[in-house]
């Protein structure tokens, strides 16, 4: 389980202090696919960086499994991060490494033996359906294939939690669908807890069971994804739904093409 309790975070800027997260409270059950949505500047990326310990909250506690992330020292945090996989919008792959070598990298850092690295990488390549691309370099891959490598790398250390930070934002709709299908399959096969941060409403509607809505650093709405879509209460979620419906109407009106 993930528990976030009374978490606040402030950044110092040239124009003064900016409170990015304000008394955030949320819980994610084991095995859930959980969504966090908000417009730009709502605090989504800061929240996910607090979850994996890249940012330290000013106040509050974050517990993931048996680890209280906010109280770990540097060495303990490094060990805890091995069980928290992370996938990114821009893939963050090493261009000079093959697909195999990119996936092997976190296992090398963890000082796995070569035989164990080989068997684990082959296993994950099969899971993300990229076995035939094992010797390719990132520049030879499509965007969707690159993201599959990113997902495979995040799974290398057999994590308990997978954090997705706008992982489909750089992909076209068809590729986005294939990546979401992959995440749903991983969730089902591995019982892996997945937290998806996005500004794409359709991603949450298709993939998540529960969600929260962030607005100006606050959680303004939370509950099951189905219930929130059927009966949105916050202005933020209503705006997201109206904007999404508007785009869909425009595509239909123009014969399937954007205007």
The number of beta carbons lying within 10 Å of the beta carbon of residue 243 is 12
Q: Quick: pLDDT tens for 144-182.
A: 999 999 999 999 999 999 999 988 888 898 999 999 999
pTM, 2 dp: 0.90
> 249 pLDDT exceeds 90?
no
**How does 158-183 read in b/e, with b if 16+ C-beta sit within 10 Å?**
ebbbbbbbbbbebbeeebbbbbbebb
Averaged over 117-142, what is the pLDDT? Answer: 96
DSSP 3-18: EEEEEEEEEEETTEEE
The pair of structure tokens assigned to 245 is 């419906």
* pLDDT reported for residue 247: 52
**Cα 105 from Cα 63, distance rounded (Å):** 27
Averaged over 210-223, what is the pLDDT? Answer: 95
**Cα 41 from Cα 226, distance rounded (Å):** 25
Measured in degrees and rounded to the nearest 5, phi and psi for residue 102 equal -65, -45
* pLDDT reported for residue 259: 33
Three-point CA angle 197, 4, 222, nearest 5°: 60
Burial class (CB in 10 A: 0-12, 13-18, 19+), 55: middle
**Overall fold of domain 1-83+200-254:** Rossmann fold (3.40.50)
* pLDDT reported for residue 4: 97
Nearest Cα neighbor of 190 from 225, 227, 162 is: 162
Residue whose tokens read 């879509």: 229
8 A C-beta contact, residue 70 and residue 62: yes
- pLDDT level of residue 258 (50, 70, 90 thresholds): very low
């Amino acid at each position: 389980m993930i528990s976030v309790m009374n978490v606040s975070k402030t950044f110092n800027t040239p124009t003064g202090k900016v409170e990015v997260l304000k008394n955030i409270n949320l819980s994610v059950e084991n095995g859930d696919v959980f969504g966090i949505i908000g417009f730009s500047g709502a605090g989504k990326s800061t929240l996910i960086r607090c979850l994996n310990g890249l940012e330290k909250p000013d106040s509050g506690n974050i517990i993931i499994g048996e680890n209280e992330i906010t109280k770990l020292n540097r060495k303990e945090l490094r060990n805890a991060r091995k069980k928290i996989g992370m996938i990114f919008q821009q893939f963050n792959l090493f261009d000079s490494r093959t697909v195999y070598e990119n996936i092997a990298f976190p296992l090398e850092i963890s000082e796995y033996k070569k035989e164990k690295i080989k068997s684990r990488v082959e296993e994950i390549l099969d899971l993300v359906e990229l076995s035939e691309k094992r010797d390719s370099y990132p520049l030879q891959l499509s965007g969707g294939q690159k993201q599959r490598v990113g997902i495979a790398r995040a799974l290398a250390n057999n994590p308990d939690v997978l954090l997705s930070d706008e992982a489909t934002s750089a992909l076209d709709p068809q590729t986005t669908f294939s990546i979401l299908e992959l995440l749903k399959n991983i969730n089902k096969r591995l019982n892996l807890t997945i937290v998806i941060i996005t500004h794409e409403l359709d991603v949450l509607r298709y993939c998540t069971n529960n969600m929260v809505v962030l607005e100006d650093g606050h959680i303004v709405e939370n509950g099951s994804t189905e219930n929130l879509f059927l009966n949105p209460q916050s202005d933020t979620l209503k705006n997201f739904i109206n904007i999404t419906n508007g785009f869909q109407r425009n595509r239909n009106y123009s014969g399937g093409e954007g205007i």
